[in-house]
Structure 1
């Protein structure tokens, strides 16, 4: 795999010319035409799709309107509640509400079916589509029924990626979908476009997850594609099945890219034809000479079975490399666990080694990445006639949709898997985020799913339980299962893949999915459950702000799972205050109490009282502030909390990572950088300042107070740097914070206090 240091021209779809003074002459000789870099940049597939959806008239400052929206049942309640509070009357574009996360009937003491009935009645009232639980995971339904060549789809799940089908899709926090529901736009600068030039053909046994992990391992740490569009081109694309392309594409989220798009061909056209939507196919190719801001060149024949060890999809090795350096790599993982869990529990992976071989406890093939038809059929071929054994090792397989499940039953693959001792389950995303197949204490799970962050598999460090996940392809998971848990690469198994043809039967959806066809029925009453709560009132940005630092995280990257846990909080996602009780519980269990404590000072101000009466230490802090800023009074002051993290926001698009801080009185985050655009957008949409500070020694520590004088005017004046003061030892010590680039609308949202307030204007 090669990462080019400079921009690259793709000429005639098959030749790469690195950007250099001689590039123009080379392009002229190969095409007979001269072209500037600026003109060639317009010849990418990505540029054409973005241009077709941009409403600003300025391709440097995009204002995108999407064709369709999609959400699942741990995000759509909050999104619709936010939109209702802002005046929603009808879904202006198709909006699909799937139910693949809160699919279990009762978790955590509440009935998740209440959320489902809320979704169904909202689909009827506002003119949407409702997919009942167990029918399909969000992204498989979108592939089967929503994607189309040249379209754009916005989803409230970070793995919203349908580029392999010619659809540019993006995963964002809920407020960005709210904007689309209110006929507003998705505002971004024109992103860079990085080409992924594929040649060769994968060897037998190598699957989509192997290719995806190889890419993630090369580009995550160096930020090569961060907030850019990945565009897959080159002759190697046609050597991949559409299922393989889909499996690679969905994992591009783990590179921190903004979106993805692929060139399309007759195989993609056949996919649409199989699904009864041939008219939605569109041939997409870059122009004769297209310029890319970077280029990843991959010979697919060189990829070998991969594994991403705990605790990140970028912690990659070939399985051969792992087995050759087993104890050293396992020791490294155990040391990572000490950092991730702050020494609270001990992870023991080296005990999994028996007679020099690594044995795992669990295999999972599931969700938007693993649950595809081809993955499961290949796994069934590998396992045919085998037994997974009666011991610790278990294997669960979750087809990504009921139509896939039905075809697996018809062609015998389901029976072949069941005969081995594997369990087939219905479409459910639970194993991916800790709400299904949670391993035993110290168990090691291998999964063809999307993420392996700390605790994401559902273990409870606060209760002394720890487990870990490695990501692998379905084929190598099946090979491991055939060897009763001994970690095995699929390339080490002698198998002939049958590659049965897929037949899609739409009757299941016709019989069970509610589709309003875009017709709203205002007479429908929305069905609420007792756990579905409105958002609490949120104050506008004050003239001056006093923040207490209530958490300090120095991990290189902080995931959204660590900001708000995933699996155990599922049943509280519709209850803002209930959910907030879990905020930072995996990283800093004292956070909620500290945030609530300083929030009492703000509540006192809102009641017309002195904040020092509620939080006595604030009296001394304000004495120090008054030495320099005598005019600061409770009438022009806001008091709240902030956290510091080196690089927060990797992973999920869940807005709750920000909104939970907000409802607990959070006014800001301070970071060296933000891991993803979507997390920064979530902060802004919930009225929180996305502050930046240069790397180095911090001028403040956990528990310190930070004063931001004139913060409201700074935002109004479009300041990019903020004068701040640490209140320490009765004195003010100045330092500088940065805001980074913000649009006028983003500043207005901050000033109003959140997107809900902004839309109530």
Structure 2
């Protein structure tokens, strides 16, 4: 039988792991690293702790696209630290306002057949160019950036056959929303979605980017499209046609599972609060007035997306009860919409034009009114992510967003007929060269002094897991709790992500404002969660804060992939809580033989509670994950191995 594109790419980079069977450990070499400023400061400080002299991969790029509002000096402290870090260690640096990491990386750096690892969950967007691109926590990215490769558990590969043609006002966003309608936010866990079929050749790279960006909301590791004529045309437009190579799954490729999407039967879809998995047809919604419509940011901010909105708004005005914002994905896209007249059309219609940053996608500005519907072309609508605790955020395509901005109610754009988009102006290919730094010569790098403001505080180093543990349950939370509830979005909380002691004050604040002080008073404890604990962002702060507060185990019914790995990297054991457990906050747990159970490959251990009950927790860890926990976390393990190699 033939091979999938996913396994071909992994096999070409395989360092260890052999069979690439789903569920087994493997290690791959990494071609490219993507880091952004919100996760970048912790990743950079942990990279420094590895003691290497420069990056150990061909390319690493740092993008300043999250914390750029600069309401005080802490954002700029972070930026100056990251700029000097990049100069010192050989990382390229994209400054504030130049654009969002994912779009710039597609424009300037993405290459078919390469492996991209990024400290941002939506790094998966690189799959639009035939890359194996996946998000990870900052420490795992730092380790990969240092040249140690990337370790992970091999996924299943699900083939998604696309057939038919998209109808009027049905877009790539509706394809990925359809997959979310089928799978919810948990059904993709442990999987890569690989797209094939006759309809694929009609999807542009920017359309594929939308699907790959948002596929992680199913819980999936990533998505891949073939590298084909669409890829070649994209690379040619960026002056990089020499980077093109044709890549695809074999005609007789054996997928672990196959599903089909007939594009001709899709209708405009919308994800309703408070999950990307709550997907319904726009036509099936009750009348839903909106007060805000936001287009662009991390996803759906390509030229085609913004030109689509402009075509619908052309000669019309935004409803007087609606605020419309538009965020281009990069300065290159901004230049293109200005040159083509799209910018002027949007502005005349009443849109607020924002700079190319993540912005409202992560609660940095444009927080909506509590309880009122905000319709966005973004990728997440978790509670409070917008910056408003009691928000009501809906997710949709650019066409639906534009039609709704005109009517003031969530509306299909199908009645507007086929759209004629304004032809794109040629991109200014010099913008990236003028704004993204080059790697300094080695002699200059060694003389760079890294600038550390008072906001930059290195994370703690964990002690090895204790042999036995006795602690109280600090909090019990429900299903689908996101990392945004642990390290919140928004301009205030995100400004202190470089200082865990301050950032910790925000953990679980939306759910339980007393959590932080209780953890301090009790000297640590245990976090108990439900299904899909830690969904969403790759922010490892959601694991480092519990470590800072004295948490050494989390017990949840199941975990999101990246957060689970972040817990392990931080030296915190992610244990499996049984169905029917009725643990309460304040319960005291005693665990005998915690360290031994992990060391000896046990699949469960027993908890004894203060009132005499027993509780059996599952241990679902691969051999490599057990080794990390026993070493005291990933940093301790890598440093220990590197010291042994140096001695040898």
Deviations 1:158-184 (A, max 9, x none): 111211211110011112102213322
d(CA) in 2 for partners of 1:558, 1:280: 40
Contact 1:173 1:654 in 2 (8 A): yes
Question: Cα gap change, 1:646/1:267 in structure 2, threshold over 3 Å: closer, same or farther?
Answer: closer
The equivalent residue for 1:708 is: 591
The equivalent residue for 1:416 is: 345
Deviation at 1:188, TM superposition (A): 2.7
- Other structure's SS at 2:15 match: coil
d(CA) in 1 for partners of 2:200, 2:425: 20
The equivalent residue for 2:482 is: 559
1:238 paired to 2:201: yes
Contact 1:564 1:657 in 2 (8 A): yes
Contact 2:298 2:361 in 1 (8 A): no
Stretch moving more, 364-373 or 536-545: 536-545
d(CA) in 2 for partners of 1:367, 1:165: 20
The equivalent residue for 1:79 is: 43
Equivalent residue in structure 2 for 1:504, among 423, 427, 438: 427
Deviations 1:143-199 (A, max 9, x none): 111211111100111111211211110011112102213322322333110011001
- Other structure's SS at 2:121 match: coil
d(CA) in 2 for partners of 1:495, 1:570: 42
Deviation at 1:499, TM superposition (A): 4.7
The equivalent residue for 1:695 is: 579
List, as ranges, runs of 4+ consecutive aligned residues in structure 1 with deviation greater than 6 Å: none
1:727 paired to 2:607: no
For residues 341-380 of structure 1, what are the structure 2 equivalents within 5 Å? 357-380=287-310
- Other structure's SS at 2:147 match: coil
d(CA) in 1 for partners of 2:249, 2:461: 49
The equivalent residue for 1:536 is: 460
d(CA) in 1 for partners of 2:132, 2:98: 24
- Other structure's SS at 2:553 match: strand
For residues 423-442 of structure 1, what are the structure 2 equivalents within 5 Å? 423-442=352-371
Task: Give unmatched runs, 5+ long, in structure 2.
Answer: 641-648
The equivalent residue for 1:747 is: 626
The equivalent residue for 1:121 is: 84
- Other structure's SS at 2:529 match: strand
d(CA) in 2 for partners of 1:719, 1:219: 31
- Other structure's SS at 1:691 match: strand
Contact 2:203 2:230 in 1 (8 A): no
d(CA) in 1 for partners of 2:312, 2:52: 51
Deviation at 1:527, TM superposition (A): 0.9
Contact 2:475 2:526 in 1 (8 A): no
Contact 1:103 1:112 in 2 (8 A): yes
1:488 paired to 2:449: no
The equivalent residue for 2:18 is: 58
Question: Cα gap change, 1:723/1:142 in structure 2, threshold over 3 Å: closer, same or farther?
Answer: same
Deviation at 1:587, TM superposition (A): 1.6
Deviation at 1:90, TM superposition (A): 0.7
The equivalent residue for 1:156 is: 119
d(CA) in 1 for partners of 2:550, 2:73: 26
Deviation at 1:273, TM superposition (A): 0.7
Deviation at 1:110, TM superposition (A): 4.4
For residues 448-467 of structure 1, what are the structure 2 equivalents within 5 Å? 448-460=377-389, 466-467=390-391
Contact 1:543 1:710 in 2 (8 A): yes
The equivalent residue for 2:234 is: 271
The equivalent residue for 1:178 is: 142
- Other structure's SS at 1:515 match: coil
- Other structure's SS at 1:154 match: strand
For residues 319-334 of structure 1, what are the structure 2 equivalents within 5 Å? 319-322=282-285, 326=286
Deviation at 1:517, TM superposition (A): 6.6
Deviation at 1:78, TM superposition (A): 0.3
d(CA) in 2 for partners of 1:186, 1:723: 33
The equivalent residue for 1:469 is: 393
For residues 193-232 of structure 1, what are the structure 2 equivalents within 5 Å? 193-220=157-184, 223-232=186-195
Stretch moving more, 664-673 or 261-270: 261-270
With normalisation by structure 1, the TM-score equals 0.81
d(CA) in 1 for partners of 2:251, 2:165: 24
d(CA) in 2 for partners of 1:577, 1:759: 25
For residues 10-21 of structure 1, what are the structure 2 equivalents within 5 Å? none
Contact 1:89 1:126 in 2 (8 A): yes
Pair member with larger Rg:
1
- Other structure's SS at 2:628 match: helix
d(CA) in 2 for partners of 1:369, 1:197: 23
d(CA) in 1 for partners of 2:235, 2:438: 20
- Other structure's SS at 1:540 match: coil
For residues 607-622 of structure 1, what are the structure 2 equivalents within 5 Å? none
Equivalent residue in structure 2 for 1:102, among 64, 67, 84: 67
- Other structure's SS at 1:183 match: helix
The equivalent residue for 2:643 is: none
Question: Cα gap change, 1:538/1:697 in structure 2, threshold over 3 Å: closer, same or farther?
Answer: closer
Contact 1:642 1:667 in 2 (8 A): no
The equivalent residue for 1:666 is: 551
1:385 paired to 2:309: no
Deviation at 1:551, TM superposition (A): 0.3
d(CA) in 2 for partners of 1:245, 1:542: 47
The equivalent residue for 1:526 is: 450
d(CA) in 1 for partners of 2:430, 2:146: 33
Question: Cα gap change, 1:125/1:658 in structure 2, threshold over 3 Å: closer, same or farther?
Answer: same
Contact 1:110 1:531 in 2 (8 A): no
d(CA) in 2 for partners of 1:386, 1:112: 39
Equivalent residue in structure 2 for 1:282, among 237, 245, 267: 245
Contact 2:210 2:299 in 1 (8 A): yes
Stretch moving more, 290-299 or 710-719: 710-719
The equivalent residue for 2:274 is: 311
Deviation at 1:288, TM superposition (A): 2.6
Contact 2:473 2:526 in 1 (8 A): yes
Deviation at 1:361, TM superposition (A): 0.2
d(CA) in 2 for partners of 1:182, 1:64: 13
Deviation at 1:708, TM superposition (A): 1.3
Question: Cα gap change, 1:164/1:502 in structure 2, threshold over 3 Å: closer, same or farther?
Answer: farther
Contact 1:563 1:587 in 2 (8 A): no
Equivalent residue in structure 2 for 1:165, among 95, 105, 129: 129
Deviations 1:523-567 (A, max 9, x none): 1001111111122343222222112111001x3321111222111
Contact 1:547 1:642 in 2 (8 A): no
Equivalent residue in structure 1 for 2:154, among 190, 202, 215: 190
Deviation at 1:252, TM superposition (A): 0.6
Contact 1:642 1:668 in 2 (8 A): yes
d(CA) in 1 for partners of 2:440, 2:306: 33
Question: Cα gap change, 1:95/1:717 in structure 2, threshold over 3 Å: closer, same or farther?
Answer: same
The equivalent residue for 2:502 is: 578
Deviation at 1:478, TM superposition (A): 0.9
d(CA) in 1 for partners of 2:310, 2:197: 31
d(CA) in 1 for partners of 2:235, 2:102: 15
Deviations 1:557-588 (A, max 9, x none): 21111222111411011111111111111122
The equivalent residue for 1:335 is: none
Contact 2:293 2:375 in 1 (8 A): yes
